[in-house]
Amino acid sequence: MSKMRTVDAAVAILEKEGAIEAFGLPGAAINPFYSAMRAHGGIRHTLARHVEGASHMADGYSRAKDGNIGICIGTSGPAGTDMITGLYAAWADSIPMLCITGQAPVAKLHKEDFQAVDIESIAKPVTKMAMTVLEPGQVPGAFQKAFQLMRSGRPGPVLLDLPIDVQQAEIEFDIDTYEPLPVEKPKASRKQLEKALDMLTAAQHPLIVAGGGIINAGASAQLVELAEILNVPVIPTLMGWGTIPDDHQLMAGMVGLQTSHRYGNENYLQSDFVIGIGNRWANRHTGGLETYTAGRKFVHIDIEPTQIGRVFSPDLGIASDAGAALAGLVELAKERKAAGSLPDYTAWVAECQDRKGSLQRKTHFENIPIKPQRVYEEINKSFGRDTTYVSTIGLSQIAGAQMLHVFGPRKWINAGQAGPLGWTGPAALGVVRGKPDETVVALSGDYDFQFMIEELAVGAQFNLPYIHVVVNNSYLGLIRQSQRGFNMEQNVSLAFDNINSTHLSEDTRGYGVDHLKVAEGLGCKAVRVEDPNDLAAAFDKAKTMMGEFQVPVVVEVILEKITNISMGVEINAITEFEDLAAKGEDAPTAIIALLD
């Protein structure tokens, strides 16, 4: 055994647990930890401009690749409170992330010392564990437990708070004898899965609802294999988008009130059985439960037992890791296929494909200012199958989910449940850290973009290139649309005449913030587009600049100020505000070409 500071032990544990990517801001109360990282050298650190931004970077890094756990580090007091939104976003979407804060000395915690706040109590509701470590000897065990909890059951974030005297205390520790704790995940029994498969094969129009738990389990290939053996269509949730490629014949579309496809909702409404795997039955997916559940039976498989029955009671609930359940279902399905006992769902699959090829929204508009639908059409044309999209909330995200195409797991990265404005930019930087050799495209409205715009400088400083598409209508577009029910537009306009940007056209100057000037001032490159026919060239230019300068490139698209995006209060009553696609040229990048 050797004697060392607790922080030196902690950093050695991070490396052994495979968590070597950190994002944060140093400060007095966390400086000992930073000195340990410097001495050790095995943890790469990215300096953020805001601690909330650092938390979203760590979150994005965790979401980028199977097994990743991003680390967010900050000092005492406001650094910890700044992390709360990031912790909430990770907790809500079941993302493992480790937040580490400095703290006042243990003896000062009850004395209202400078920047001493009870971050443990504040963080507990949005973490799997929040702990102020009061004894030096507890530090190795606290980190060991943190990693076990982050990886076990439903994944999620942890916060460890380290008083400065605890950080500097010496303990006996030997990293060679340290071992990670076993990860605990429930596994469905054969009997449970046989019952689930019996129920599915008794149905005429079954569907598989594929949730984010499948992506968390790294089990998308098994999901596709199961669907292909059974020949049963798949409805991915927003968090499960990419579990099956959009152009797979069994991908039946997304369902919901906002981030959904017309054909997805209609396919779902024609089903008589649904097996949900690794999903939560989120309200923006289901809409009214009476409509969603009427006339169909349900099996719900989820890693967290208390999620089963939380929204509605299924006909069969199974607590299991999605990967383990899918492995068992694949084995059973293969046995039954070999025995010739699986039903033939060819006609049902053909019905779903017919709807996919006919129920489409129009994307091809020539309007100036640009209609947002055209932006996503051009993105589909300009970026390939390996593109990873990052977004969080707003009409930009909703329209993107309706019109973009995703071809694999972890290629749609979205803060789905919390939806914090400002998440997109810093999360994209974390994704670039996790996917350094892939094309990353972020999608924001102007307000989401402005929330944490300072983090662009992080991308410039650390050469983290990605393309940030900003659709600018100088409005809080989603809130403006939701205020229609109140017959008002209250506090939702961002427009003003920008007297400092005389190089802009008179109309564009009236949109307010000059995002190009801000982006360039923060060390990035930027392009503005006002004509839809210039979008393709702008994306090509952005790709060239991203490669040449290795910094974020902003593509700002000036939209018409008022656009209402398709949505509703029930999945069978979605309001379509725009003309629908009537011929192939109306939706030229649709997965299945619309027949004229």
pLDDT digits (tens, 9 = 90+) for 65-116: 999 999 999 999 999 999 999 999 999 999 999 999 999 998 888 888 877 8
Question: How many Cβ atoms from other residues are within 10 Å of residue 176's Cβ?
Answer: 9
- Residue pLDDT, tens place only, 352-388: 999 999 999 999 999 999 999 999 999 999 999 999 9
Please count the residues of the chain.
596
* pLDDT score at 596: 58
Average pLDDT over residues 536-556: 97
- Residue pLDDT, tens place only, 200-224: 999 999 999 999 999 999 999 999 9
> Is the distance from CB of 96 to CB of 69 less than 8 angstroms?
yes
Average pLDDT over residues 114-120: 87
pLDDT of 1 above 80: no
pLDDT of 559 above 70: yes
Task: Give me the phi and psi of 271, to 5 degrees please.
Answer: -80, 160
Name residue, tokens 């760590």: 58
* pLDDT score at 593: 82
Average pLDDT over residues 385-392: 96
Alpha carbon 134 to chain centroid, angstroms: 34
Instruction: Name the band, by pLDDT with cuts 50, 70 and 90, for residue 29.
Output: very high
DSSP state letters, 502-529: TTS-HHHHTB---HHHHHHHTT-EEEEE
pLDDT of 507 above 70: no
* pLDDT score at 581: 87
Average pLDDT value for the chain: 94
Average pLDDT over residues 170-179: 96
Percent of the chain at pLDDT exceeding 90: 86
Percent of the chain at pLDDT exceeding 70: 98
Instruction: Name the band, by pLDDT with cuts 50, 70 and 90, for residue 504.
Output: low
Strands 567-568 and 574-575 come out as antiparallel
More confident call, 452 vs 508: 452
Distance separating alpha carbons of residues 347 and 365, to the nearest angstrom: 35
> Is the distance from CB of 264 to CB of 255 less than 8 angstroms?
yes
pLDDT of 508 above 80: no
Name the 3-class secondary structure at 139: helix
pLDDT of 196 above 70: yes
Average pLDDT over residues 271-300: 96
* pLDDT score at 551: 98
pLDDT of 477 above 80: no
Q: Please, where are the H alpha helices in 111-243? A: 119-123, 139-151, 164-168, 190-201, 212-216, 220-230
